[in-house]
Amino acid sequence: MTHNFDPTTLREYDIRGIIGKTLGEADAAAIGRSFGTRVRRNGGKRVAVGFDGRLSSPGLEAALVEGLNAVGIDAVRVGVGPTPMLYYAVYELGCDGGVMITGSHNPPDYNGFKMMLGHKPFFGADIRDLGVLAASGDWETGAGGSAHVDIMDRYVDRLVQGYDAKPFNIAWDCGNGVAGPVIERLVKRLPGKHITMFTDVDGNFPNHHPDPTDEANLEDLKRVVAENGLDFGLAFDGDGDRLGAIDSQGRVVWGDQLLGILAEPVLKELPGATIIGDVKASRALFDRIAELGGTPLMWKTGHSHIKAKMQEIGAPLAGEMSGHIFFKHDYYGFDDGIYAAVRLIRAVSALGGSLTALKDAMPVMINTPELRFPCSEERKFIVIDEVLARLAASGATVDRTDGARVTTADGWWLLRASNTQDVLVARAEAGNEAALGRLMAQINEALAASGVAAVNAGH
């Protein structure tokens, strides 16, 4: 017995596809067999399984469990909930791995799988290996069991452990993703006034798309904060592992800015500690970490890359522009948007009590959103190599951590290959519009020299 996956589904950080086209229940069963085989060969026996609120998730979960059982793995089924609740279950229930069925912030017809083996992220070559095992039918055999465990209340208990903040008035937008039921339980435990929004889990996402990094998805949150005179607003993605925030004036506090706030109490306790930000983060973040007495480290974009680097160097905190925030300080080291929200409230309380004042104090930088340029799977990494070679010949100041991040007197620009789509991703940041224009011209020139059309080059 063998199985071949659609090649587009085995991604760098996870498995992801379109239901009925590139991903279905037969794939889920094969993932169960392949991943379960890896767990067995790693000396393990129990795997935690959770799923999000997408319409296809229950069917995928049942098929996955069937596949795990067929290779002798016991499934610990924690049911519907956020991805970080599944990660928490792996730690707290002593499991040997975990699988979360989630399409994250993708459109409703997508779904996918995020995995961890032991306490380590499972990505890159590990994911490709699942395809090799399936194609050759190199699976263990056995007969595993299945048990349902309701862990949500224990997870909420852990979120509020050590809570020490003053009362705030906050709006919480769950976007009909799986953070909703957790947030409803959490706010009952917090002082202050809390308005919850779209907490019903609905895989059709009837109100807005659950992606807090797209400002268009924060309009409802801005309205509720303004109408009720609240202190700030918090928003989550579809599976609850990313955080978005706005201040009392409706201004977005971006992922790197959140990390700058969260770093301050951590560095008070751990002077000199290394705080990791991804290559898309503002220079202002790395400057701020250094100013606070920390050691800033720029690393590759992607939750799996960041988690692996944190474990390697023992960093207490890390974050990405996308809103993935990772706390090892007083927590487990995985990305948890809900725990990050709780820590943000605590940090704002400790730093004077106003997220708006903290936003006011941040340096004003002018930057582009993420710009995406179509480029084939075969060509995208080659283009980056070509760009790096030309930059090296020109004597430019380049950081090669993940693509090319070029620093000039005007600011910086980034060009990297996406690990999840057939695109090149660019971003630029400067102190004024004229400087940003010059940086954008450099990006367009770099793309044109490699034959990539500079579409979407406005900002």
DSSP string spanning 338-372? HHHHHHHHHHHHHTTS-HHHHHHTS---EE---EE
Provide the angle, in degrees to the nearest 10, between the axes of the packed helices 180-187 and 152-159: 50
Measured at the CA of 70, the angle between CA 25 and CA 56, to 5 degrees, comes to: 20
Contact present, 201 and 80 (Cβ < 8 Å):
yes
Q: How far apart are the first and last CA of the chain?
A: 51
The residue with tokens 């947030």 is 183
The DSSP output letter for 302 is: S
3-class secondary-structure state, position 430: strand
Q: Which token pair is 28?
A: 């889920």
Measured at the CA of 429, the angle between CA 327 and CA 390, to 5 degrees, comes to: 105
| Closest to 56 (Cα-Cα) out of 87, 10, 102 | 102
Write down the catalytic residue from 104, 248, 282, 322: 104
Cα dihedral 264, 269, 275, 277 sign: negative
- Residue 361 makes CB contacts below 8 A (sequence gap 6+) with none
Task: Report d(CA 413, CA 279) in Å as an integer.
Answer: 10
Give the Å distances, CA to CA, from 238 to 82, 209, 324, 327. Answer: 8, 8, 13, 20
| Closest to 171 (Cα-Cα) out of 234, 223, 254, 226 | 234
| Closest to 61 (Cα-Cα) out of 28, 94, 108 | 28
Is 136 among the residues known to form the active site? no
Task: Report d(CA 414, CA 406) in Å as an integer.
Answer: 6
Task: Report d(CA 175, CA 36) in Å as an integer.
Answer: 33
3-class secondary-structure state, position 68: helix
- State the maximum Cα–Cα separation within the chain, in Å, rounded to a whole number: 66
3-class secondary-structure state, position 428: strand
| Catalytic site positions | 104
